[in-house]
């Protein structure tokens, strides 16, 4: 597609700019319309808390030293509760070795050793979803909010979620692209699969042969419309403005056809105009026997 755009754009943009333009258009179109094929589900596995061994905390230090532990890099970003009541949640910033972790901030309490602890993930990555509408295990979990969980269980001491009872939108990760997360409550105490249903976000194209998530005619004609407008703004040649209008009209026609085709797809799948009731009423069993729904994305396997 990049080669097509450079050819039709009469070499007005280099390869890097063409790629950036295509990704801009793809993101706009993914976010502007409720395409049925963007609503998917994935399988998320909860983790079992880790509590083998004891830990030592030194006042003023952000280094946590374990005894009888086998820490791994998996624990980066997890939270740790320590002490007899396990009521002090501390986030882990980095893995150092099997007996050493770095916390996100120094320990401000008195120095202590031989403490029992529990390490657990507070947030679960649901990439490539950017919006979650349902989480299901044996039954649908109750959707709630971080504010509500902070009132119910501010220190997150409730455990034994087998399965969890509630889920809440989490936070964006620092990854690139950034990943959305959810929180399960009470804190799961074993490996369990959860079906997470929601909408995937735009996926950038990096290679010349990468294809957009939408029909290529929609993305290509809108990109050419932007390109011709930029050329007109640069040199004031009215021919570029006329070319831009032509590509704009073609883009609108192709977009209308793509939306009509998607609406037919929604009817075939028995969903409403926004596609959401397909997800509300259909679980993984639906996706396993209906080719039109596409395969589920499998992620976060232990």
pLDDT at 149: 92
Query: So what's the pLDDT on residue 231?
Result: 84
Over residues 40-50, mean pLDDT: 92
**Distance, CA of 80 to chain centre:** 24
Q: Are residues 248 and 270 in the same domain?
A: yes
Share of the chain above pLDDT 70, in %: 81
Flag whether pLDDT at 290 surpasses 50.
no
pLDDT tens sequence across 125-149: 998 898 899 999 989 999 999 999 9
Name which of 76-90, 184-198, 242-256 the model is least confident about.
Answer: 76-90
The larger pLDDT score, comparing residue 300 to residue 36, is at 36
**Predicted TM-score of the model (pTM):** 0.72
Q: Are residues 116 and 135 in the same domain?
A: no
Asked which of 174, 200, 226 is the last residue of a domain, the reply is 200
How many domains are contained in the chain?
3
Does residue 178 carry a pLDDT above 60? yes
State the pLDDT at residue 258: 93
Q: How confident is the model at residue 165 (pLDDT cuts 50, 70, 90)?
A: very high
CA separation (Å) from 115 to 12, 58, 80, 100, 230?
65, 12, 12, 14, 64
* 218-254 per-residue burial string, b: 16 or more CB within 10 A, e: under 16: bbbbbbbbbbbbbbbeeeeeeebeebbeebbebbeeb
166 and 154, same structural domain? yes
Domain end residue (candidates: 120, 142, 160): 120
Q: Domain containing 176: what range? A: 41-47+123-200
Burial of 143 (C-beta count, 10 Å sphere; 0-12/13-18/19+): middle
Establish if 301 belongs to a structural domain: no
Q: What is the pLDDT of residue 109?
A: 84
Kindly state whether residues 287 and 242 are assigned to the same domain.
yes
pLDDT grade for 268, boundaries at 50, 70 and 90: low
- Of the three residues 68, 90, 120, the one that is the final residue of a domain is 120
């Amino acid at each position: 597609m990049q080669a097509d755009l450079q050819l039709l754009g009469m070499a007005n943009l280099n390869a890097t700019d063409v790629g950036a333009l295509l990704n801009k258009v793809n993101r706009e179109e993914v976010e502007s319309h409720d395409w049925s094929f963007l609503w998917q589900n994935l399988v998320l596995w909860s983790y079992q808390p880790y509590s083998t061994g004891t830990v030592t905390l030194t006042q003023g230090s952000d280094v946590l030293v374990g005894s009888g532990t086998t820490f791994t890099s998996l624990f980066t970003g997890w939270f740790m509760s320590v002490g007899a009541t396990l009521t002090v949640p501390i986030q882990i910033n980095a893995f150092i070795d099997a007996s050493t972790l770095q916390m996100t901030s120094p320990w401000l309490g008195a120095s202590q050793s031989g403490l029992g602890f529990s390490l657990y993930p507070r947030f679960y990555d649901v990439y490539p979803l950017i919006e979650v509408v349902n989480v299901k295990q044996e039954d649908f979990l109750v959707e709630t909010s971080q504010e509500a969980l902070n009132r119910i269980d501010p220190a997150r001491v409730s455990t034994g979620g087998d399965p969890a009872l509630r889920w809440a939108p989490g936070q964006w990760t620092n990854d690139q692209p950034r990943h959305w997360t959810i929180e399960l409550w009470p804190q799961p105490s074993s490996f369990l699969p959860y079906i997470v249903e929601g909408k995937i976000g735009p996926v950038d194209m990096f290679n010349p042969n990468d294809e957009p998530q939408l029909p290529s005619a929609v993305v290509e004609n809108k990109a050419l419309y932007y390109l011709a407008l930029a050329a007109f703004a640069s040199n004031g040649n009215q021919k570029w403005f006329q070319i831009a209008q032509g590509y704009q009209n073609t883009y609108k026609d192709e977009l209308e056809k793509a939306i009509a085709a998607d609406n037919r797809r929604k009817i075939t799948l028995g969903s409403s105009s926004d596609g959401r009731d397909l997800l509300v009423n259909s679980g993984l069993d639906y996706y396993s026997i209906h080719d039109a729904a596409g395969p589920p994305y499998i992620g976060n396997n232990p």
